[in-house]
Chain A
């Protein structure tokens, strides 16, 4: 067997408190004590409720295994995203779904919230990169699903189910993530277009082989990022035309982390709708279009009911985010889907002690 000298271990503040967390959850289950799972708290405003005894996973951190040639990173949930990313960067790799870090976010929070950044439509979301998870269910049992390999169809895919479940099905202890190489080159081109023109342009460009890795529209400007080999990006850049965006990395980071001007509001809507859907709200609404049209951030005076209905009629859904308090609105689930959610919650957390009410009232 060849010697692969590539296993890198993070030595800074590495700590494994899995056993302690398992005992705490088992004990809480017996006592029927609700727990509020926390990482850095960077996404706490996304919770509907935050009740229960705090259970911090911050001390459970460090990279367990990282092998660049296997494209797999296994990391404890409390590890800061920035730490994981800097280790990846040293080997020319990245978390391709560009999870928003907000302010000091952890890997556990990235997976539990399931959020993905500008690259999402072209490479996949958080859930697409989850290969395996090690969790504690609501009975205090530590369970491993998936694994550290690209393809694994043994058992139900409970590991991807953890992505975006807001911790209501299990405390994520560690996760194996598929990683990808950093592109050799990236440039961003700018086009002056109306929202609807921009949506049509991106839909058309996405229908032919192009190295697009992000497309965002705001206030009459469409920004398109090209990523890949130097020759491929240069060629596409020539074909696309448009102006070159200066300081592009910071622009995309501001979209990824919601530090862009648009997000400096108390509340806004997130619409997830089919990419090519025309603008569905009155022009008076302020909007930032990301994911090439598939994710639209809106500030509007329209009623919640109307926004939700319009998003649903377009084939997607809507949710309202509040940045300061926890009065977020989730998209209501169909009755039969809600029933399945309750049963799945029951299957993982029969005493309903894990983040109760954080995701939906009834979970």
Chain B
């Protein structure tokens, strides 16, 4: 929890007078009902999807016009008040954790789909629109929005842009950054910037790429134009079970090496399989060490040919059993298992902690073996769910937050897993973001000069550093205090020390 020091958790309490004068100025632009200050009204905002970290903000603002947001930002800028932007609050890295002396800017009321252009296959939406709502609105035209994070039923598109959200189809269809055309961004000074165009690219620097995944540190996204894709004519799912995780990993390499890019390619290890089967009876083989789900999509004739090819590869890779979903109902059942993996694992213990490293796939066997050892060492069970196609690994550590000291142990174990991801040439976060959760691990992944460069980028947009302070990029002194080591080019300092 000491990650929370330095951004209001243990600092000076903002004076009551300061809050009063802020409220007075904000109420010139917002109704009383749009400014929450009472303890019970603030309570739902004290955390996001990472509930281990909680902090009540000074106030929550719920504007419903762009003018109000601009006025609010200008006021905060002038008065030096921190602003934490919040969408649906489903983020898993504490990116929307409030600042004690700051304002939470909720964009929940900006939830309209403004326009669907069927000719150019785009949708212009407000940031509070739910991810799935875009697809639902596009469906009548045979179109959909491709990135599908598992929280898509609840998460907002603004949050997706801020985190560069992924999902189970991103190997083939890309991340959020690959599916955007334009965003309207409000700076901390309340000025509106149009980033990108309605065409495929824009003049100047690729600011759209820079802003995507910037975790609310550079500006407030107030409108988004996304690309829509035609719905594939058909999709088929194969499920293969394996005796070992390594064999399943080799099968993934063999599929991709053969020139096939599946729409989805997911792996689960035995603890995850058991948890899911117990929970929703998806028909998974509970004795398998690993299962692979491989979805192929496209036109009927493309999918027919690829299904045969993948089946052959899976068998050649030593699959114990390969099943092809007989119909749409079974296809949905296979996926339902994967999509309910988190809540299913959640039933096994009072709490679980979800990690999010990405590794080069070839190191999967080694990394999972080491995670298994760490699990025994810490006496904390771990289930692994893996976006196998793109190397994004989600170890779920089971624990009980009410047991004294367990959260601390879990964080320590989690940090070791992330360190391992970096050491094999991967990253500490594939899709959940750094937020407050992985702020210390940033010191392992980046050198001082790189962190300084990030801060310089931040200053180009937000010179007073008022947007989401304390998140995403650590201050250098923080890394120095931690004594965190940077793993340069995968070369650890003191390689003679056994670390695996």
Contact = CB atoms under 8 A, between A and B. Distances in A.
Interface string B242-268: 000010011001101101110000000
Contact of B198 (A4, A137, A163, A274): A274
A151 interface: yes
Most buried by B among A72, A209, A331, A337: A209
A157 B199 contact: no
B41 to A, nearest CB: 32
Contact of A231 (B213, B302, B361): B302
Interface stretch (B29-37, B456-464, B476-484): B456-464
B429 A153 contact: yes
B497 interface: no
Given A145-B450, A155-B454, A209-B232, A2 B246 contact: yes
B197 A317 contact: yes
Contact of B260 (A120, A181, A360): A181
B417 to A, nearest CB: 14
Contacts of A276: 119-120
B214 to A, nearest CB: 6
B218 to A, nearest CB: 8
Contacts of A157: 164, 177, 209-210, 212-214
A158 B197 contact: no
Interface string B44-81: 00000000000000000000000000000000000000
Most buried by B among A120, A137, A151: A151
A347 B302 contact: no
A161 B210 contact: yes
A125 B200 contact: yes
B348 interface: no
Most buried by A among B194, B200, B389, B457: B200
Given A158-B453, A232-B299, A334 B430 contact: no
Given A151-B390, A155-B446, A155-B450, A92 B259 contact: yes
Given A69-B257, A141-B449, A276-B119, A151 B305 contact: no
Contacts of B445: 154-155
Contacts of A4: 253, 362
Interface string B397-431: 00000000000000000000000000001111111
Given A149-B430, A161-B205, A275 B120 contact: yes
B96 interface: no
Contact of A144 (B118, B365, B426, B450): B450
Contacts of A148: 360, 425
Contacts of B430: 149-153
A7 B163 CA distance: 32
A297 to B, nearest CB: 14
Interface stretch (A31-39, A255-263, A338-346): A338-346
A235 B360 contact: no
Interface string B360-387: 1111011000000000000000000001
B256 A207 contact: no
A151 B387 CA distance: 10
Interface residues of B, number: 103
Contacts of A120: 200
Contacts of A344: 205, 210, 457, 460
A347 B178 contact: no
B35 to A, nearest CB: 28
B434 A155 contact: yes
A182 interface: yes
Contacts of B163: 153
A336 interface: yes
B204 A71 contact: no
A138 to B, nearest CB: 11
A151 B357 CA distance: 9
Given A153-B432, A207-B141, A232-B302, A147 B204 contact: no
Given A137-B453, A148-B360, 20 more contacts: A1-B363, A2-B362, A67-B362, A69-B362, A124-B178, A128-B174, A143-B453, A149-B427, A150-B358, A151-B170, A153-B429, A158-B457, A180-B261, A207-B142, A208-B142, A209-B233, A272-B197, A274-B198, A343-B460, A348-B456
20 contacts: A69-B256, A70-B360, A92-B259, A127-B206, A141-B449, A150-B170, A150-B391, A151-B175, A152-B430, A155-B434, A155-B454, A160-B206, A163-B206, A164-B206, A209-B299, A232-B302, A316-B199, A333-B203, A340-B460, A341-B205
Closest 3 CB pairs of A and B: A315-B198, A232-B302, A316-B199
